Structure 1
Amino acid sequence: MTRTIIEGGFIATVDQGGTEHATGHVVIDGGIITAVGAGAAPDRDGAKVVDATGCLVTPGLVNTHHHLYQWLTRGYSQDSILFDWLTALYPLWSRIDADLTAAGAAGAMAVLARSGCTTVGDHHYVFPQGSGDIVGGLVQSASRIGVRLHATRGSMDLGASQGGLPPDFAIETTDAALAASQEAVERHHDPAFGSLVQIAIAPCSPFSVTADLLRESAVLARSLGVRLHTHASETAEEDAYCAERFGMTPTQYLEDLGWLGDDVWMAHGVHLDAAAIARYAATGTGVAHCPSSNGRLAAGIAPVRDLLRAGVPVGLGVDGAASNESGQLGVEIREAVLMNRLRTGADSFSVRDALRIATIGGARVLGRDAELGSLEPGKVADVAVWRVDGVEHAGILDPVAALGLGALPPLHRLFVGGRAIVEEGTLTSAEEPVIAEEVAAASRALAARL
């Protein structure tokens, strides 16, 4: 790879000390960051220089929770809470296949990349019979766009006839889900430093999965050395479901099944009481905070300040585009600031707090904070260069506030492992009009199946 110097911008490293340089440089060599500092880079010989004057330079953003296939079902059930929304959409989602998923995922990841996201965490849990290699389709789409992928092999085995929420035709058997989860890990997971694809095991939720599948998935994931992911404590209705069906909170139920630990992250965590937060902190269990989706479905505002003060790993997530039609991770930084200030006060959550959970916080949630999430020598060169000298932000006192309080700045460059996949706000890795046409066609095809 060409040695690259990013120079002249405001550098927010998001390292442990929160180091920032009003005018600084980042040096990339072989896909790895080799130097970060103030002023101009000392050695420019043979390097490609990216002029970042007028720009904010941050780590690439890390998305810890998404449902990429839902890019094909945006705009449905617009005024529903979670359970009603799911019930309305399960019949459509149960017609998905690998080709449609790949088309939707390419569209979703293109938008994520254009909003500063370099690492995409996806939770796919609908696998209709005969639908093909859906996880493989996700991997191919990530390669096409050029982002780093944390895919999960999700599952549902608790249908409506057994007291679950999804219809029986949308679920798998417990044994089939476990076997397919193991196959996905063995086929696609790469544990190496800087890997572009990693796989986790992710039964969907307490109201769509049996206790047996949750318990055995935890055993399987740990035997394979991969992480665990599920939805937890998203809504008041979920709390009521767990209280009625299991006689305990979602946190108590999941802990009984081996689902708290530093290899686990939960989506949402909106309805966590003090006892639950203490258990998350004690076990190192992470949380994916999804502010826009939680607002769209009126689920509530997660107690992020309390989670962070307790030491819980917290990352940022878009969630599925059927409950967050924006699909942009960069926008969630501002949403996190605003939502958490509504919950806990104007001085409770800063723009740098939000940038931190969007970068190193998310990397920690995914177990990759030694590789990703900050601009430090030795880390993988996932770097976002945001232009903040345009009409939307020119003159702003604090460049980080442009990202955390202002309109989403356009990207001057986005690097994944030192490779520029976005230049001047446009994908370089794939043709956006082609992706848009494919998404529109796939959306129509999926709707026609219903």
Structure 2
Amino acid sequence: MTSAAHGPVETAELLVRDAELLVVDDGREIAGGWVAVSGGRVTAVGPAGSEPEAERTVSAAGRLVTPGLVNTHHHIYQNLTRSYGPAVNGSLFDWLTTLYPLWAGLDEEAVYVSAYVGMAELLMGGCTTSSDHLYVHPRPLLVDAEIRAARDIGFRFHATRGSMTRSVEDGGLPPRSVTQSEDEVLADSERLIGAHHDPEPGALIRVALAPCSPFSVTRELMIATAELAERHDVRLHTHLAEDHDEDTYCLETYGCRPVEYFEDTGWLTDRSWVAHCIYPNDAELRRLAAAGVGVAHCPSSNMLIGGGTARVREMRELGLPVGLGCDGSASTDHASLWLETRGALLLGRYRGGPGAMTARDALDIATRGSARCLGRADELGHLRPGACADLVVWDLHEVALAGALSDPVEAWLRCGPARAWTTVVGGRVLVERGEPVLPGLAEALRHHGRIARRMQDVG
């Protein structure tokens, strides 16, 4: 467990030291390790006794240090309608049709405060990079609002420009008030890429294109979006093979199964990653793997909705990039990547037995697997020198850890609950001693409560 991998010792801007165990990368862990950071990058790692001088030092004594967790699928705005009573016990389609009318009330302020609060929650759960799938657009400039929140916080954020064009009048599920025309979607997608997408290494903000699902947009938009992504070299995201009703819908509407439709519309490419992917058959899984399509596995959402779960072990054996996602804050009702990582461990073992998933496997999915889904495996999900300086010092109460003496990584997921004691994004400390270091959080929470009450028409 002790493999030192460090560059030249030099003065650092930030030094995280004295970790009980530092997880650098797959198979590289350093007992008593340290991480040095300068210019937003990891400059060196190593064992106790070889630390450089630093402008600021964070003690990780007695604690596990890992790369920051990466969230590959989320709908942050849904934290405005968490645990909404009329929706919680229905099927996926029942849940959607109940909540769409509430989400029609979204505006820029609502999206900004939901994003600000949601990103604070993600940081507290050890997430340092998140994508978000905002596909409800009753008003313009909503994606810009969540990007503004990410910039105000200093959070690493992949905004995906979602879309729906099939309203209930067109044979879809959502009301007309939250859908747009194909021309509106494509024009705004191109505008967002030009305004916000940063293709440079170390970028904090990137943009991807993300029609909501095969049953919420037209075939023409799926094809045009894939072409637009190719032209601008951005990534593609959507829900795929999430529900048996989707199989029925695609067969009746397009004359084929969802994965075949996905391929026919030009999406079967390593530019794409998809959410859930619960119901592909064996041949379809092999096609997805051969193309390099990534999968965002959402354990809590799968279990709460009760609609099945991805075959994660088989996917990984085939070579598919598999990452983790919180999914919507109104389907899982939380935004903790630690909970999702633990859920992946438990669900993997429940499906496949004790050999199917270890804590290190789950950590690998939450870090390196997720980074692969977002196309950033070179600089996210590990702490090798040159990586983005995104890391977490984890805290478990000593009562919870009593007796856990032999393996800090297994204890991290088995003994919880764990929380982020320190969360660092790009070398900036954004959670300190378990609390977000965000000056705008109290005001955002006040506005969030007011908007959530208005949206749910409560009190």
| TM-score where L is the length of structure 2 | 0.94
Moved more, 64-73 or 400-409: 400-409
Residues 342-364 of structure 1 deviation map (CA, whole Å, 9 limit, x = unaligned): 11112101111110110111111
For residue 317 of structure 1, the aligned residue among 314, 317, 325 is 325
Contact in 1 for aligned 2:288/2:320 (Cα 8 Å): yes
The Cα shift of 1:271 comes to 1.1
* Counterpart residue number, 2:128: 118
Percent identity between matched residues is 44
1:91 aligns with 2:66: no
The Cα shift of 1:244 comes to 2.2
The Cα shift of 1:162 comes to 2.0
Question: What is the CA–CA distance in structure 2 between the aligned matches of 1:405 and 1:445, rounded to whole Å?
Answer: 40
1:382 aligns with 2:390: yes
Question: What is the CA–CA distance in structure 1 between the aligned matches of 2:418 and 2:403, rounded to whole Å?
Answer: 14
For residue 399 of structure 1, the aligned residue among 390, 394, 408 is 408
* Counterpart residue number, 2:8: none
* Runs of 4+ in structure 1 over 6 Å off: none
The Cα shift of 1:120 comes to 1.1
Secondary structure of the equivalent of 1:267? Answer: strand
For residue 260 of structure 2, the aligned residue among 247, 252, 256 is 252
1:63 aligns with 2:91: no
1:49 aligns with 2:50: no
Question: What is the CA–CA distance in structure 1 between the aligned matches of 2:448 and 2:60, rounded to whole Å?
Answer: 33
Question: What is the CA–CA distance in structure 2 between the aligned matches of 1:220 and 1:23, rounded to whole Å?
Answer: 48
Give, as a single letter, the amino acid of the residue that structure 2 aligns with 1:99. E
* Counterpart residue number, 1:141: 149
* Counterpart residue number, 1:108: 118
Contact in 2 for aligned 1:144/1:429 (Cα 8 Å): no
Give 1:68-87 correspondences, 5 Å limit.
Answer: 68-76=76-84, 77-87=87-97
Question: What is the CA–CA distance in structure 1 between the aligned matches of 2:100 and 2:77, rounded to whole Å?
Answer: 12
Secondary structure of the equivalent of 1:391? Answer: helix
Residues 274-316 of structure 1 deviation map (CA, whole Å, 9 limit, x = unaligned): 1111011100000000000111111212100000000000110
Segments of 5+ residues of structure 2 without an aligned counterpart are 1-10
The Cα shift of 1:184 comes to 0.9
Moved more, 428-437 or 171-180: 428-437
Contact in 2 for aligned 1:61/1:373 (Cα 8 Å): yes
Secondary structure of the equivalent of 2:245? Answer: helix
Give, as a single letter, the amino acid of the residue that structure 1 aligns with 2:133. H
* Counterpart residue number, 1:39: 48
Question: What is the CA–CA distance in structure 1 between the aligned matches of 2:52 and 2:425, rounded to whole Å?
Answer: 23
Segments of 5+ residues of structure 1 without an aligned counterpart are none
Contact in 1 for aligned 2:165/2:216 (Cα 8 Å): yes
* Counterpart residue number, 1:276: 284
Contact in 1 for aligned 2:74/2:133 (Cα 8 Å): yes
Residues 34-57 of structure 1 deviation map (CA, whole Å, 9 limit, x = unaligned): 11122233432x442222111100
Give, as a single letter, the amino acid of the residue that structure 1 aligns with 2:89. D
Residues 304-348 of structure 1 deviation map (CA, whole Å, 9 limit, x = unaligned): 000000000011000010001122111101001111111111210
* Counterpart residue number, 1:368: 376
Question: What is the CA–CA distance in structure 2 between the aligned matches of 1:444 and 1:49, rounded to whole Å?
Answer: 42
CA RMSD, 1 decimal? 1.6
Contact in 1 for aligned 2:338/2:419 (Cα 8 Å): no
Residues 248-267 of structure 1 deviation map (CA, whole Å, 9 limit, x = unaligned): 21111110000111110001
Question: What is the CA–CA distance in structure 1 between the aligned matches of 2:398 and 2:446, rounded to whole Å?
Answer: 30
When residues 287 and 79 of structure 1 are mapped into structure 2, their CA distance, relative to the original with a 3 A threshold, is: same
* Counterpart residue number, 2:209: 201
